[in-house]
Amino acid sequence: MSLLAAFARLGLQRSGGVTGAVAARCLHISPVLCAEPLKKKKKLDPQIVKQREDRKKKKIEKQIRRLEKNARQLKPVEELEVPLDLIDDKDKRQRKLNPLGSAELEERALLKKQWAHYKHDERVADFQIIDRLVQAQNKALAELRRESEELYQAAIEVDLQLLPVAVKGPVATPPIKNYASPDGDYLHQSMKWEVK
Amino acid sequence: MLRRLVQVGVRELSRSQSTAAATEKWDLYAGVLVERLPVISKSLNPLEKQFQDMLWRVEYENSLKSNHELKHEREIVQAELIKQGKMQVDLEDSGAKQTAQDLKDAYIEELKKFQLADRTTPDDKANKTSSTDRCLEDTLYLLVQQKLGPQEHLILPQGKREEGESMRQTAERVLHEQCGQELQVLFYGNAPVGFHKYKYPSNQRTQSVGAKVFFYRASLRSGQVAEKVAKFEWLPKEALNGKLTNAAYSESVNKFLL
């Protein structure tokens, strides 16, 4: 009988209005989910999957074949190619000078011969200097060895501090002291290359 | 690798040879040849100048006209046409436009404004031998006043080797002692480049007979000899030979000068 009474009360409460709704709002039965259930994975036909993979493979193989075929063909360097407009108006750019006279040609030939002799002599003199230096060093080393073998061994050690060598060559005019270089515009001229 | 093999071979070979002599005892000295390398290139001699002029002429003859030259020629033709009245003067254009000739004049003006440094320095004119800022075309060598026996001599910096030093270490130490700490140099290798020996006067040959000097080559990086440490001079090759009074020493040094 008591069960019946309880049901009767429940029925009463449901129809009870405001108080019943408040009680129901505070009641949680399932845990709060901050995510939605995973989507069901589409099941693909294994044959289609295989077909796709095959197609991919074929595509790559084709690319490889094409690359191998063109392996010997080098990619042109654009900067090294003469621009077409320069080739087109080459005639326009030619200097129209009078041909050299025979006297002038003769003079130039003589000067070249003289120059060859001069450079030859210079070279011979250079070799003589090198010989002299090597001789002087050999003599010094031989003398050092006569004095002490240890010192000689220390002297023929390789000096690794000399590497890497940095040499600043002579210039045409000496650097200006306290020179403040003016700021110029910075133009970046090298081209950008993109992998296609 | 090869060098090491050679060294090992040499070492074994030498063991039998060395210390055979040395009945007389000699003092070992290290000397340093400090050189200030040329700062500017050599002036051309008449033949070189002539040849260079010829090369420049040939270069001009073989060259093609540049855009600037073409523009200049075009403008001359245009000016001619306008003069003859065959072409209308474009009033809007002509005022603002810069001709090739104008540009060229502007460039030349700008170049003229820039003052290149002189190839001869004030120290050249004053003949200040203690300065490294002179004779920019030549290599300068350092001579230092030193006391040998009772007399002072102007020679390459040198000093006696101490026990336990290699010759290179001696050379570095000697240079520091004689020229101060400011002088920064780069030694060219561990091997001496030259050699000189001299005997002491006969009344001083108590312990050793004379001195053997091993010269090392070094190039000046920066700095200068400390004024108070020593009297010194930087000299080109010809002047150096004038300053070295001892003929034998001068000969030995000349063997390894460039």
Peptide bond into B157 cis (omega under 30): no
Instruction: Name the minimum distance, in Å, from the CA of B4 to any CA of chain A.
Output: 9
**Is pLDDT at A8 greater than 60 in this prediction?**
no
Inter-chain touch B10–A156, beta carbons under 8 Å? yes
All residues of chain A having their beta carbon less than 8 Å from the beta carbon of residue B42 are 170
Contacts of B47 (CB under 8 A, 6+ apart): A114, A115, A118
Residue A173 is given by DSSP the state: S
Q: What was the pLDDT predicted at B139?
A: 93
Look at the pTM and tell me if it is higher than 0.90.
no
CATH number of B25-40+128-254: 3.90.79.10
Q: What was the pLDDT predicted at A59?
A: 96
Of B21, B39, B192, Cβ closest to residue A170: B39
Give per-residue pLDDT as tens, B52-93: 999 999 999 999 999 999 999 999 998 899 888 877 766 655
Inter-chain touch B167–A175, beta carbons under 8 Å? no
Helix (H), strand (E) at residue B72: helix B67-84
Residue A49, both tokens: 């999957």
Residue of B nearest to A142 (CA): B195
What is the C-alpha to C-alpha distance for residues B121 and B115, in angstroms, rounded to an integer? 15
Residue of A nearest to B197 (CA): A143
What percent of chain B shows pLDDT beyond 70?
88
SS3 breakdown of chain A: % helix, strand, coil, rounded to 5? 60, 0, 40
> Checking DSSP bridges between strand B158-160 and strand B26-36, what pairing results, if any?
antiparallel
Inter-chain touch A92–B65, beta carbons under 8 Å? yes
**HSE of B112, CA atoms in CB hemisphere, 13 A:** 6
A149–B contact, CB cutoff 8 A: yes
Sign of CA dihedral A148, A149, A154, A156: positive
Instruction: Name the minimum distance, in Å, from the CA of B150 to any CA of chain A.
Output: 27
All residues of chain B having their beta carbon less than 8 Å from the beta carbon of residue A177 are 117
Residue of A nearest to B27 (CA): A147
All residues of chain A having their beta carbon less than 8 Å from the beta carbon of residue B61 are 95, 97
pLDDT grade for B19, boundaries at 50, 70 and 90: very low
Give ipTM to 2 decimals.
Answer: 0.79
What is the C-alpha to C-alpha distance for residues B207 and A114, in angstroms, rounded to an integer? 60
* Amino acid in the structure at residue A152: Y
- What's chain B's Rg over C-alpha atoms? 31
* Mutation target vs B (from A152, A165, A167, A177; most B CBs, 10 A cutoff): A152
Task: Decide: helix, strand or coil at residue B211.
Answer: strand
Residue of B nearest to A181 (CA): B114
Question: Which stretches within B85-119 are classed as H helix?
Answer: 91-96, 100-113
Inter-chain touch B51–A108, beta carbons under 8 Å? no
Question: Residue ranges of the domains in chain B?
Answer: 25-40+128-254, 46-113
* Mutation target vs B (from A128, A141, A146; most B CBs, 10 A cutoff): A146
Instruction: Name the minimum distance, in Å, from the CA of B34 to any CA of chain A.
Output: 16
Of A94, A136, A162, Cβ closest to residue B189: A162
* Least confident range of B3-12, B29-38, B178-187, B248-257: B3-12
Mean pLDDT of chain B: 85
Task: Decide: helix, strand or coil at residue B63.
Answer: coil
Inter-chain touch B18–A151, beta carbons under 8 Å? no
Residue A16, both tokens: 């009870």
CB pairs under 8 A between A and B: 132
Q: Do B245 and B153 touch, CB atoms closer than 8 A? A: yes
Give per-residue pLDDT as tens, B241-251: 888 888 999 99
* Least confident range of A64-78, B2-16, B70-84, B166-180: B2-16
User: Which of residues A108 and A188 earns the better pLDDT score?
Assistant: A108
SS3 breakdown of chain B: % helix, strand, coil, rounded to 5? 40, 20, 35
Sign of CA dihedral A76, A78, A84, A90: negative
Q: What was the pLDDT predicted at B223?
A: 86
Give per-residue pLDDT as tens, A87-126: 998 899 999 888 989 999 999 999 999 999 999 999 999 9
Residue of A nearest to B138 (CA): A170
